[in-house]
Amino acid sequence: MPQTWPTTLQRYKHIATDRGLALISNISSIEGTEEQFGSDFVLRRATEDEAKDFSPLVKASANELTHERNPWESKVATQTPGDIEQGRFVVEPLAISDHRYHVADFAGNGFELHDVLDASVMSSGPALVSDLGLYFGPSEGFASSGQLTTFRDETAISDVDLPVLTRRDADNIRNVLPKLKTFAPNSELRRALSDFNALRRISRTSKLRMLGLFIILESLVAHKPQRGDRTDAISRQVARKMTLHQQRFERPWDHKIVVNPSAPWDTFWMRMYDLRSATAHRETPNAKDDGLELLKSMSTARDLLVGATRSLLRRSLEDPALVFDVREC
C-alpha cells in the first residue's frame, strides 16, 4: 500500500510517470561513472539530495548495523594489519559529498529491478542487493519497501567487504539479462533464484541458510531417488552430477580451496553431505567425521556452497536442457 509522502520527499511529487529509485546496498563504488542496463535503467552514485533522503530511511530500517556504523556514511581507519579483526579501529564520518550510496534509477515497475538483481546473482561479480526502494508516480505515490537486514549478512565492518562493481561485472550482467528475460516468472530457474535471494536475508552463519542452499542444489541436479537403491541416494546424485557440472562452470574451482588437493571432487561432495547431515541434526561438525577434514573451515564450506549454487544457476540459464536432462539421469 502507498504510504504518506514524507516531508523530505515532497520534491518528488511532480514526477509524472512511474519510476523507481532503489538503494543498491552492498557496493561501495562503481568503476565506471554509471552503468546502463536497458534503455531506461541506470545504476549510479546517488546525488547529494538523494543521499540525504536515503540516510534517515536507512537509519530507521537498518537496526542491526554492525557496531552502529553506517558503511555508506563512514570509513574505517586502522593503525596496523589485524586491527579490524581484533576490534581495534576508528570510524571516521564522511562528508555528504563523499557518501557512498548507490541507486538503481529506472522507469516502470519493480520487475526490471528484480531482473537486474537476478542477473547479478548469475554473474561473476557481486550479487547485488536492494532492500530499500522508493517508487514514485501517479498510480503509486510513495512507497518504501524492505529492511536492511542483509547488511549484517553481506558485509562486516571493513571497507573491503563492500565490493566495487567493475566494468567487467556490469558487462557480465548485461550479457545475462536478455537470456534471463526469456524465462517465465514461474519457471524452475526463476523459482530457484527467488529461493536463493530469500536465503540471503538470513545470516550467513545460520544453519538454516546452509540447508536452504543444499535444497536449491538438489532441486536442480537430483531426481527423486529410487526406493531401496542406495546408489541413487540424493547425496550420491549430487556428488556425481556436481562433479560433471563443475567441468562446464565458467570459473572452474581450484583444488587449493580444500585441505587435500588430491581428493576427487565426488569425494569432496560426499564430505559436504556429511557436513549437511551434521548441520540438519543440530550437531557441532566434527573435523574427522563430518566432512571438515577436506575443508579449511566452516566459512570455506559456506562460501563454496554459495559459489556452487550461483554457478549452477548460471548453467541452468546457459543450457537448461542439459541441466535438467542430467537431473533425470
Span 81-98, pLDDT tens digits? 666 556 666 778 888 888
Inter-residue contact 158 to 81 (CB < 8 Å): no
Residue 1 lies in a domain: no
Domain end among 180, 211, 242: 180
* The three cell numbers locating residue 205: 552463519
Is the same domain home to 170 and 200?
no
Inter-residue contact 218 to 234 (CB < 8 Å): yes
Residue 58 lies in a domain: yes
pLDDT of residue 287: 53
pLDDT of residue 4: 45
Residue 310 or residue 89, greater confidence: 310
pLDDT at 13 over 60: no
**Structural domain span for residue 222:** 188-328
Is the same domain home to 229 and 160?
no
pLDDT of residue 18: 65
Q: What is the mean pLDDT of residues 141-163?
A: 51
Is the same domain home to 257 and 160?
no
Is the same domain home to 132 and 34?
yes
* Residues 92-151: tens digit of each pLDDT: 888 888 888 898 988 876 788 889 999 999 988 888 888 666 655 444 444 444 455 544
Q: Can you point out the beta strands (E) in 1-98?
A: 19-23, 29-30, 34-36, 41-45, 74-77, 90-93
Domain end among 164, 180, 196: 180
Domain count, the chain: 2
Is the same domain home to 172 and 26?
yes
pLDDT at 258 over 60: no
Q: What is the mean pLDDT of residues 194-212?
A: 85
Whole-model pTM?
0.80
Residue 69 lies in a domain: yes
Domain end among 180, 203, 236: 180
Is the same domain home to 83 and 159?
yes
- Determine what percent of the chain is predicted with pLDDT higher than 90: 18
Residue 282 lies in a domain: yes
Residue 216 or residue 75, greater confidence: 216
pLDDT at 43 over 80: yes
Is the same domain home to 213 and 161?
no
Q: Give the pLDDT band of residue 14 (cuts 50, 70, 90).
A: very low
Quote the distance between the C-alpha of residue 214 and its chain's center: 16
Residue 90 lies in a domain: yes
Is the same domain home to 263 and 313?
yes
pLDDT at 75 over 60: yes
Residue 2 lies in a domain: no
Residue 255 or residue 107, greater confidence: 107
Is the same domain home to 116 and 78?
yes
Q: What is the mean pLDDT of residues 198-212?
A: 83
Is the same domain home to 170 and 243?
no
pLDDT of residue 2: 40
Q: Give the pLDDT band of residue 191 (cuts 50, 70, 90).
A: very high
Starting at the edge strand found earlier in the chain, the sheet holding 143-145 runs 34-36, 41-45, 102-107, 19-23, 132-136, 143-145
Residue 215, helix vs strand vs coil: helix
Q: What is the mean pLDDT of residues 51-61?
A: 75
> Average per-residue pLDDT in the chain?
76
- Rounded to whole angstroms, the Cα distance separating 226 from 191 reads 25
pLDDT of residue 154: 45
Closest by CA to 147, choosing from 20, 43, 55, 59, is 59
Residue 156 lies in a domain: yes
Residue 278 lies in a domain: yes
Is the same domain home to 254 and 105?
no
Is the same domain home to 135 and 237?
no
- Determine what percent of the chain is predicted with pLDDT higher than 70: 70
